[in-house]
Structure 1
Amino acid sequence: MKKIIKYLNLKDSQKVQKRYRRHAGLDPASCIFSKFWIPACAGMKGIGLFATLSNLFYIISVCAIFFSGCSSLNAPPQPPSIDSYSAPDSVPITEKQGLHQPGENKTSVPEAGYSELTLDECVSIALEKNPARQSAEATVSMAEENAGIAKAPYYPEVSASAGYSRFQRHAFLPGNLPIKSDSTLIGPENDWTSAISARLTIYDFGERSARLGSALARKEAASDEAEKIRQEIITGVNRSFYGLMAASQAREVALKNLERNESQLKSAESRYEVGAVSRTDVLRARVGVADAKLSVVKTESLISMASGDLNTVMGLPVERPIKIRASGPEIQMPEKKLLDQAFIQAKEKRPELKAAMQKISAAKFGVEEARAGFGPKLKAQASYGWEDDTWTPNDKTWLAGLSVEIPVFTGFAKTHNLAGKKAELKKEEAEAIRLIQNVRQEVWKSYTKLKESFEAFQASESMVKEAEESHRSTKERYEAGAATITDLLDAQVSLTKADANRVNAKWDYYVSEAEFKKASGGL
């Protein structure tokens, strides 16, 4: 009908008759391809140039989409190679950091060429290379982009379009139209269009504002979640670092035990040769040496596994050799007031609680957005373009106006949406209450564990001193013939166990201290 109105508004009746005859197929020159390229090229100037180029772009785009779609009909998407993700250590760690280069022969470089990694250096490497940290940062970036998307409705939406269609239809024309033909058939006709349009939401009952507020709150929640992951990585490094130190010192204890057992075996063999003891003492001593060697093997395996744990939490290949430097703060008795301060600090600084509050804020904005969906929306739109039956359209078209949208009935979708948003708000509030309780429990348990570790270390110190004195006196008595080999081996086992307990208690204290700092939000 738009074409008919255009014809009726033409002042030149001969032009109307000519166009009508072409639409009706009565004009021999109605074939557009007989006069297609030369007039099109000759008319490329001013607005016609833009319209022509836009139509050309439209045709090329349609062809590209068609052929690209056909070419991928039978080609399933190929996933990325695992090898591209299986080498997280893309930046080599140098010898200065205490690590071997990939593919380097461990025995080709002297041990003096390596410096030992401290706890702080391990934390720095982990924060740089651990994929969990990288994933958290990407999540924050996603939330920031979503906030940018939420700001988009405040700006006008501008688009350009071009199109082509060919049609044929019947039309009922007014009787006073000066056309000498009984045909009511229009077409076949070519329709070329080009246009620029803009749309802007002027008022939407607060929907845009609520959506933006929700997106900004979720962005802050993502930042708090990233901080939580950062603290978990630091805690994991502390746990693995002190675990490796405990395994290394356990190996030293096992080596000392092996040395004592070998010394005892030599003593038993010497006394057996002079007839001071029976062969049973020699056999018992040999069993003690074999058991001590087995303990050394087990501690070496613990060192290997602890090294793999530390490498993994640092984001490095698990098999990479590593050396660390033993370090730790002074062991102190935790005070009762420290617990009270920890409760207050955890409530203020724990990132999980901050994220929970941001999620509640986002849920409240979601309820506001759902309510705004019931209100009217005022929108403005405008367009300017060209339309004609030739390759270079010359007839101008434009539109400008305002529209009001009022949702009358949407199948109760908006009602259910509002109810769902309210339920989501209740869920986030309940989750926040649960998190607060869990945080207080975590602070309490970590403080209790820290206190236990301190007392265990103090007890192990006394135990080691007593075990050393017992082993010394029993050894003297055995050499004097006043004690049996069983007494000496029992004293030796007690000393080894006391040494191992002291090692475990010491490094358990450092791990407990790191856990307490994390629980109280002090990392």
Structure 2
Amino acid sequence: MSARSTLKSAHLHRNTHSRLSVLIVPLTIGVTSSAWAMDPLLTSSAVSPTAAASMLDGSDADICVFTAVSNPLKLQEAVERALCNNPKTREAWASVKVQAAAVGTGRAAFLPTVSGNWQGTRDNVTNNVKGYPQYGSHYQTNLQNASASLTWVLFDFGGRSAALRNANALLAAAQATQRATLETVFAAVAKDYYAAQAAQAAFVAAREVEQTAGDSFHVATARVDKGVAAVSDELQAQTSYAEAVVNRTKAETDWQGALGTLASDMDLRPDVPLTMPAVADGVAPDHEFDSSVAELIEEAQRTHPAVMAAQAQVDAARAKVEQTRAEGLPVLSLVGKYSYNNQPTSLQLGFPVFPANSHEWYLGFQVTIPIFEGFGRMYQVRQAQAQTELQLDTLDEARQQAGLDVWTSYQALQGATKNVTNSETLLDIAQRSYTAAQRRYQVGAGNILELLNAQSSLAGAKRQRIQALTDWRSARLQLAAHLGRLDMRDIKTAPQLSEQP
């Protein structure tokens, strides 16, 4: 199997002194460059150019380059900033790149490995034979030693294939996890955006209620001054006005807190000035979720990114079992080597040293057979099987959670859709009731309690209308997120919001 020939000089070394200057350069074929600058095994196609490119429109390099925050802030911009800048999305993106590189490693196992070695030395050798100076020698020479070797695994009972399936499954899991992370961040920032918008609208409504309460207080004061109303009317109106001031202050505090949360979602400082568009009407039920809740649950349990990630982890665990078993079986490899050196040689002791060359090469097959591993392989297989069971349980949990999330968000959307109409009716009635009560009080036909009750009802109706609009938009996006359907179309096809702050 091997043709080896080596010339060696026979020297009787006594009091030998050598000074060597050695340069060893190992050469190995591989890829060592900046990330994805070279990708001969075509793994970079699994990695999006940016963390958010799979959900945002387009995939150019400038997709996550932003200028100043727009005024007012659009939901689309808030989502884009959050998807690009949120640490969780960047972590998920990095995980995909890690697993894509692991797939490249799995593919590389099917290719041969070639390595080279070169050694250059300055050899200074002196041999002194005591009592026989005629047999002594001294020489200086430059030595070179070069070799190249080849190893190519031809058959390993499916170990490499199982390792590659494991890497592909883990890559699929990382991609699904990235998608789930993007959708989670998408839904979270949309929820916070609507919360900030609602808080701003609540502040505007509280300010209007404060103004209305102030008007009622001035009317009551005027009637008391004219002697047509008791002083108790003025005090009750003043109490209502003071309460409206307190509510307006609290609403302003809640608004600023919601803006800070939204800014943090976009990886901005909480004190960055943000202006939200006003909550506007125009919300109307669509037909996107007309399927029965049972069909939606079944869809989520099949296609939600979290479920798909768990399924991919199961596939990876099963492949790992096969890989672990195969690693304990024989491996057939093609091996080859060629080497060269110019080590000088001598015919015998006392003769001068002559320049010489030595060549060696071999090409053949190598069979590696694991005979005994201390029962370690058996326990490694058991560990891989237990890991598979764990991933199956995780998959069941993911499916169960997906079904529950769809059920709760579907019910929330149904209730929010109904309350869009209910709150509109309530606000219309409360507005007409307050107008009538105000006129009655001004002409002396009504009393202060009637006016203040109508005023309080109107304030509550405004708050409920704002909440109903916000709840519908948020519930719609939350259901889309739990179904794994979120993308930028959910923003672009949503009802347009007023541009007026």
Same fold, TM-score > 0.5, yes or no: yes
> For structure 1, which segment, 512-521 or 396-405, has the greater mean C-alpha deviation from structure 2 after superposition?
396-405
Q: Which residue of 1 aligns with 2:296?
A: 342
> For structure 1, which segment, 326-335 or 465-474, has the greater mean C-alpha deviation from structure 2 after superposition?
326-335
Instruction: Say if 2:14 is the partner of 1:24.
Output: yes
Does the 8 A contact of 2:200 with 2:276 survive in 1? no
Instruction: Say if 2:94 is the partner of 1:142.
Output: no
Q: Which residue of 1 aligns with 2:285?
A: 332
Q: How far off its partner does 1:338 sit? A: 4.2
Q: Which residue of 2 aligns with 1:120?
A: 76
Q: Kindly tell me the number of residue pairs found equivalent between the two proteins.
A: 420
Which residue of 67, 70, 78 maps to 1:93? 67
Instruction: Say if 2:205 is the partner of 1:253.
Output: yes
Q: Distance in 1 between matches of 2:467 and 2:429?
A: 18
- Aligned to 2:284, what secondary structure does the other structure show? coil
- Letter of the structure 1 residue corresponding to residue 83 of structure 2: L
Give the direction of change, closer, same or farther, for the CA distance of 1:477–1:329 in structure 2 (3 Å limit): closer
Q: How far off its partner does 1:514 sit? A: 0.8
Q: How far off its partner does 1:204 sit? A: 1.1
- Letter of the structure 1 residue corresponding to residue 323 of structure 2: E
Q: Which residue of 2 aligns with 1:201?
A: 153
Bigger proportion of residues as helix: 1
Instruction: Say if 2:331 is the partner of 1:377.
Output: yes
* 1:25-104 pair list within 5 angstroms: 25=15, 30-33=16-19, 55-57=22-24, 91-94=65-68, 98=70
Q: Distance in 2 between matches of 1:135 and 1:510?
A: 29
Which residue of 425, 429, 432 maps to 1:466? 429
Q: Distance in 1 between matches of 2:173 and 2:149?
A: 37
Q: How far off its partner does 1:257 sit? A: 0.5
Q: Distance in 2 between matches of 1:427 and 1:512?
A: 33
Instruction: Say if 2:409 is the partner of 1:446.
Output: yes
Q: Which residue of 2 aligns with 1:294?
A: 246
Does the 8 A contact of 2:343 with 2:357 survive in 1? no
* 1:191-230 pair list within 5 angstroms: 194-230=146-182
Q: How far off its partner does 1:164 sit? A: 9.5
Taking structure 2 as the reference length, the TM-score comes to 0.74
Give the direction of change, closer, same or farther, for the CA distance of 1:355–1:393 in structure 2 (3 Å limit): farther
- Aligned to 1:471, what secondary structure does the other structure show? helix
Give the direction of change, closer, same or farther, for the CA distance of 1:329–1:257 in structure 2 (3 Å limit): closer
Does the 8 A contact of 1:129 with 1:315 survive in 2? yes
Q: How far off its partner does 1:483 sit? A: 4.5
Which residue of 472, 484, 495 maps to 1:509? 472
Q: How far off its partner does 1:313 sit? A: 2.4
Q: How far off its partner does 1:246 sit? A: 1.0
- Aligned to 1:357, what secondary structure does the other structure show? helix
Does the 8 A contact of 1:214 with 1:362 survive in 2? yes
Does the 8 A contact of 1:192 with 1:393 survive in 2? no
Cα-Cα RMSD = 3.5
Q: Distance in 2 between matches of 1:467 and 1:324?
A: 26
Cα deviation, 1:397-451, whole Å, max 9, x if unaligned, reads 4444432222221111110111111111122222222222221111111111111
> For structure 1, which segment, 145-154 or 355-364, has the greater mean C-alpha deviation from structure 2 after superposition?
355-364
Bigger proportion of residues as strand: 2
Q: How far off its partner does 1:123 sit? A: 2.6
Q: Which residue of 2 aligns with 1:103?
A: none
5+ long unaligned stretches in structure 2: 27-62, 122-131, 134-141, 345-354, 487-501
Does the 8 A contact of 1:387 with 1:397 survive in 2? no
Instruction: Say if 2:227 is the partner of 1:275.
Output: yes
> For structure 1, which segment, 312-321 or 190-199, has the greater mean C-alpha deviation from structure 2 after superposition?
190-199
Q: Distance in 2 between matches of 1:414 and 1:363?
A: 16
Which residue of 472, 481, 498 maps to 2:461? 498
Cα deviation, 1:321-353, whole Å, max 9, x if unaligned, reads 223335686332887644244234324431122
Does the 8 A contact of 1:265 with 1:286 survive in 2? yes
Q: Distance in 2 between matches of 1:251 and 1:444?
A: 33
Q: Distance in 2 between matches of 1:379 and 1:393?
A: 33
Q: Distance in 1 between matches of 2:282 and 2:481?
A: 16
Give the direction of change, closer, same or farther, for the CA distance of 1:119–1:90 in structure 2 (3 Å limit): closer
Which residue of 311, 321, 340 maps to 1:367? 321
Q: Which residue of 1 aligns with 2:308?
A: 354
Cα deviation, 1:117-158, whole Å, max 9, x if unaligned, reads 332333333333333222222211111001111122212222
Instruction: Say if 2:98 is the partner of 1:157.
Output: no
5+ long unaligned stretches in structure 1: 11-15, 38-54, 60-88, 99-113, 166-179, 182-189
Percent identical residues: 25
Q: Distance in 2 between matches of 1:297 and 1:192?
A: 86
Q: Distance in 2 between matches of 1:324 and 1:502?
A: 17
Cα deviation, 1:273-318, whole Å, max 9, x if unaligned, reads 2223343333333332222122222222222222222223233333
Give the direction of change, closer, same or farther, for the CA distance of 1:398–1:229 in structure 2 (3 Å limit): same
- Structure with bigger gyration radius: 1
Cα deviation, 1:18-45, whole Å, max 9, x if unaligned, reads x513x233xxxx5344xx79xxxxxxxx
- Letter of the structure 2 residue corresponding to residue 307 of structure 1: L
Q: Which residue of 1 aligns with 2:381?
A: 418
Q: Distance in 1 between matches of 2:281 and 2:120?
A: 76
- Letter of the structure 2 residue corresponding to residue 153 of structure 1: A
Does the 8 A contact of 2:300 with 2:484 survive in 1? yes
Cα deviation, 1:52-80, whole Å, max 9, x if unaligned, reads xxx42569xxxxxxxxxxxxxxxxxxxxx
Which residue of 197, 217, 232 maps to 1:265? 217
Does the 8 A contact of 1:333 with 1:454 survive in 2? no
- Aligned to 1:384, what secondary structure does the other structure show? strand
- Aligned to 1:491, what secondary structure does the other structure show? helix
Q: Which residue of 1 aligns with 2:57?
A: none
Which residue of 317, 336, 358 maps to 2:269? 317
> For structure 1, which segment, 481-490 or 377-386, has the greater mean C-alpha deviation from structure 2 after superposition?
481-490
Does the 8 A contact of 1:193 with 1:388 survive in 2? yes
- Aligned to 1:275, what secondary structure does the other structure show? coil
Q: Distance in 2 between matches of 1:336 and 1:137?
A: 34
Q: Distance in 2 between matches of 1:306 and 1:226?
A: 27
Q: Which residue of 2 aligns with 1:131?
A: 87
Q: Distance in 1 between matches of 2:282 and 2:402?
A: 25
Q: Distance in 2 between matches of 1:300 and 1:272?
A: 33
- Letter of the structure 1 residue corresponding to residue 176 of structure 2: D
Taking structure 1 as the reference length, the TM-score comes to 0.71
